Structure 1
């Protein structure tokens, strides 16, 4: 659920860290996965709290998430429409990149990022309607969805794009695989504020959290892919690919 957001953040960090000082040397050579991971992790640590004006970067934790829509077909075990608006994502400060592949001189080769996180929470207003396994669900209010001990791999692919005499990476596809050791749900004001029904539903959701996550996983990934794919393309379109890395 959160993996694509991480990818945008990571790539944005690498690009934006150079945006304010375009003549400064970039930190890593082409394809140096260990260096890229170390550099990004250092930026996470530096920006765990307030914004860092020296890097022209905004605050990461919490990260503002303006809108996400999750749509799951009604003929599935979990058929629902779930909207999140003006939410905050907590836990980015503890995210760590543990593996990087690609990002060499060949722009057509695949690129991947492997990441781990301790606790990641999406908190804020929601609206839900549909069914969860055999039970109907509806409501609107505030929610907290927390994933613990996450492992994710994001794969990007693209092709060279010539523009104004420079070569850019045109991102054409993005795939996400993410697993969480556990996930918890808390939806306030379910069933028009009926406390008994709401408490029972939240208990049911948490008792069946892994089954629900597996049922909705594809829909969650589609939602985040649609939300961030354009942003990732925009990041790479902002700066020629060769200027993101050191020459040998």
Structure 2
């Protein structure tokens, strides 16, 4: 995902030769094609590995300590859905297809466009509220999946001086997801009432497009919150100028 795209790219960009001797040197400022190719190489080669020396942990599956989708107000879907100790699958197969920004001006807007085959968030959940006309409640294990996702990550920043170096302090971070389809599975709904639970799961999937449309902004905020801390940590790890290669005159 997008925060994911940024995290892999900038944690490893200055270590390219050590990790992948056959790869090109780090990208020049603003070279979107190079940045996209570099990120996609890292997705396929590094997503399943952890390397503390590079401030990089396993990204597929990605450990999600907590995520909350809180849909309130006058929406037809009014829920509080909390995921704890979940795993997010699918990052290794995503690809960056467009890059803007990442020049020498830290305050400009940066953008990554990403395509992903699928994301699946799997693990314990708690849900309370209503879905369309039906009440829903439960605590158990869930699988919330999306397929053929178009993702856009946009953020800007401001310079942060530290130890005589300039770092990028990430601001105005926003992530949007547009899946072609999605599905839901919640075990132990309604205190384990199998008939009610089966009927609710069938109802959720029969109306999955309408449900996602109602909850898309809350879902985007939840994923943005998840990745913002990750991205800020990556940019705090190395001075901005050391993430790129200066173009020789």
Q: Do Structure 1 and Structure 2 share a fold, with TM-score over 0.5?
A: yes
Cα 1:67–1:19 shift into 2, 3 Å:
farther
5+ residue gaps, structure 1:
1-5
In structure 1, what is the equivalent of residue 5 of structure 2? 10
Give the CA deviation at 1:54.
8.5
8 A contact 1:19–1:56 mirrored in 2? no
In structure 2, what is the equivalent of residue 108 of structure 1? 107
State the distance in 2 between where 1:160 and 1:147 align: 36
Where 1:42 maps in the other structure, the secondary structure is helix
In structure 2, what is the equivalent of residue 3 of structure 1? none
In structure 1, what is the equivalent of residue 81 of structure 2? 82
Where 1:41 maps in the other structure, the secondary structure is helix
1:215 lines up with 2:214 in the alignment: yes
State the distance in 1 between where 2:55 and 2:233 align: 17
Greater shift after overlay, 66-75 or 28-37? 66-75
State the distance in 1 between where 2:57 and 2:244 align: 23
Where 2:116 maps in the other structure, the secondary structure is strand
Give the CA deviation at 1:69.
1.2
Greater shift after overlay, 32-41 or 57-66? 57-66
Count of residue correspondences: 243
Where 1:28 maps in the other structure, the secondary structure is coil
Give the CA deviation at 1:166.
2.0
In structure 2, what is the equivalent of residue 47 of structure 1? 46
State the distance in 2 between where 1:239 and 1:155 align: 20
TM-score in terms of structure 2 length:
0.89
8 A contact 2:167–2:235 mirrored in 1? yes
State the distance in 1 between where 2:237 and 2:215 align: 34
State the distance in 2 between where 1:59 and 1:111 align: 25
Where 1:113 maps in the other structure, the secondary structure is strand
In structure 2, what is the equivalent of residue 134 of structure 1? 133
Cα 1:38–1:21 shift into 2, 3 Å:
closer
Give the CA deviation at 1:10.
2.2
In structure 2, what is the equivalent of residue 118 of structure 1? 117
8 A contact 2:14–2:242 mirrored in 1? no
8 A contact 1:74–1:130 mirrored in 2? no
8 A contact 2:2–2:152 mirrored in 1? no
Say what the alpha-carbon RMSD is for the aligned residues. Answer: 2.3
8 A contact 1:26–1:244 mirrored in 2? no
Give the CA deviation at 1:231.
3.1
8 A contact 2:110–2:154 mirrored in 1? yes
State the distance in 2 between where 1:217 and 1:231 align: 22
